[in-house]
């Protein structure tokens, strides 16, 4: 995909550009807010990665201006501002996601993937299916190979998130934010615990395992592995 990166720190910028390009993406890298505004108005990018503290125009102003100009491209804030309200402020300005520096590159990739391939909001589905797993979002039931699997509400939410992002890695912090509503990182391994329960119900009784651990990054649901 074509990514617009707005980052004024050369070392960080170079690193991100190199990483994204090695993943096969095209990257346009700008260091000034005003230049980024002009580039963003082209609407030629699939996703924007914006640092909050950039010269010319602050990241917050840039995103607000782009949104008020009806630019609907997914935007991810990449910021060292990690305060209680900074995140909320960023999302309220119109960004779709907020990643705090320092970050693991795998985390950035996972989030960009989730953002860029996010289905349009109008495309609401009542049923999800990955491999032989079927999920009914209305009846809130799950079957695998036709067999009913009983899940607790939170296990259901975990699986729903994995199914919606089939084949893409979901990181622990993404789970924490989206499923638990935690905007902080608890020390305990709560994700590992709940994933292992889910795995015991959805994978263990069946021949093929679909819920895979990506070491040091997160989890992925993939029927083809």
Partner 1 sequence: MQAVSPLRSAATRLAMVYMALFVGASLAVNVFAYRMVMQFLDDRVNSSVMERYREIASAFEEGGTAGAVKMIESHGPAIKAQETLYSLSDPKGQMIAGNTKLSDVRPGFSILQPSDQHGSRSHYKLFSAQLGKDTLTVGISYDNVKDLATVILVNFGFATVIIISIGMIGSVVLARRNRSRLLSLTRVAHAIGDGELSKRLPVSPRMDEIDILATEVNVAFKRLDLSVSALKQVSADIAHDLRTPITRTFLALEDAANAVSADEMREGIEEAQGELRLITGTFDALLRIVQIEARSRTAKFALFDVGAIALEIFDIYELVAFDGHRHLSIDADRGPYIILGDTDLVRQLLVNLLENALRHTPTGSQIQIIITHDGTSVSLTVADNGPGIPSENFGRVFDRFYRGDPSRTTVGSGLGLSLVKAIADLHDARIELADNRPGLIATIQFLATSKRAEYFGVQPN
**What are the residues binding partner 1 (CB under 8 A)?**
82-85, 100, 102, 154, 180-190, 193-194, 196-197
* Residue nearer to partner 1 on the CB measure, 126 or 185: 185
Give the HSE-up count for residue 127: Cα atoms under 13 Å, Cβ half-sphere.
Answer: 5
CB of 100: closest distance to partner 1 in angstroms? 8
Interatomic CA distance for residues 167 and 69, integer angstroms: 34
- Which element (helix H / strand E) includes 114? helix 105-116
79 contacts 59 by C-beta, under 8 angstroms: yes
The owner of tokens 């640092």 is: 51
* Residue nearer to partner 1 on the CB measure, 17 or 190: 190
For the chain, first and last CA: distance in Å? 24
- Which element (helix H / strand E) includes 172? helix 172-175
CB of 218: closest distance to partner 1 in angstroms? 15
19 contacts 47 by C-beta, under 8 angstroms: no
* Residue nearer to partner 1 on the CB measure, 89 or 132: 89
Q: What is the DSSP letter of 53?
A: S
Interatomic CA distance for residues 91 and 94, integer angstroms: 5
CB of 103: closest distance to partner 1 in angstroms? 9
* Residue nearer to partner 1 on the CB measure, 29 or 180: 180
CB of 134: closest distance to partner 1 in angstroms? 25
Best CA proximity match to 128, nearest among 154, 157, 152: 157
Q: Are strands 133-136 and 75-79 parallel, antiparallel or unpaired?
A: unpaired
CB of 193: closest distance to partner 1 in angstroms? 5
CB of 204: closest distance to partner 1 in angstroms? 16
* Residue nearer to partner 1 on the CB measure, 71 or 149: 149
* Residue nearer to partner 1 on the CB measure, 200 or 223: 200
């Amino acid at each position: 995909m074509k990514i617009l990166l707005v980052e004024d720190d050369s070392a960080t910028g170079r690193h991100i550009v190199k990483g994204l390009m090695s993943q096969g993406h095209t990257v346009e890298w700008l260091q000034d807010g005003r230049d980024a505004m002009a580039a963003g108005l082209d609407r030629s990018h699939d996703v924007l990665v914006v640092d909050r503290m950039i010269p010319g125009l602050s990241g917050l102003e840039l995103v607000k201006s782009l949104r008020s100009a009806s630019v609907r491209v997914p935007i991810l804030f990449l910021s060292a501002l990690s305060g209680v309200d900074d995140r909320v402020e960023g999302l309220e300005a119109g960004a779709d996601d907020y990643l705090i520096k320092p970050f693991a590159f795998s985390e950035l990739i996972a989030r960009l993937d989730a953002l860029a391939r996010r289905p349009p909001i109008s495309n609401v589905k009542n049923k999800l299916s990955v491999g032989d797993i079927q999920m009914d979002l209305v009846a809130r039931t799950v079957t695998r190979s036709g067999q009913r699997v009983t899940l607790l509400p939170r296990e259901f939410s975990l699986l729903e998130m994995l199914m919606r992002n089939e084949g893409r890695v979901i990181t622990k912090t993404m789970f924490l934010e989206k499923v638990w509503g935690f905007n902080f990182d608890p020390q305990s391994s709560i994700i590992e615990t709940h994933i292992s329960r889910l795995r015991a119900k959805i994978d263990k009784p069946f021949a093929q395992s679909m819920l895979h651990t990506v070491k040091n990054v997160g989890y992925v649901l993939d029927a083809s592995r």
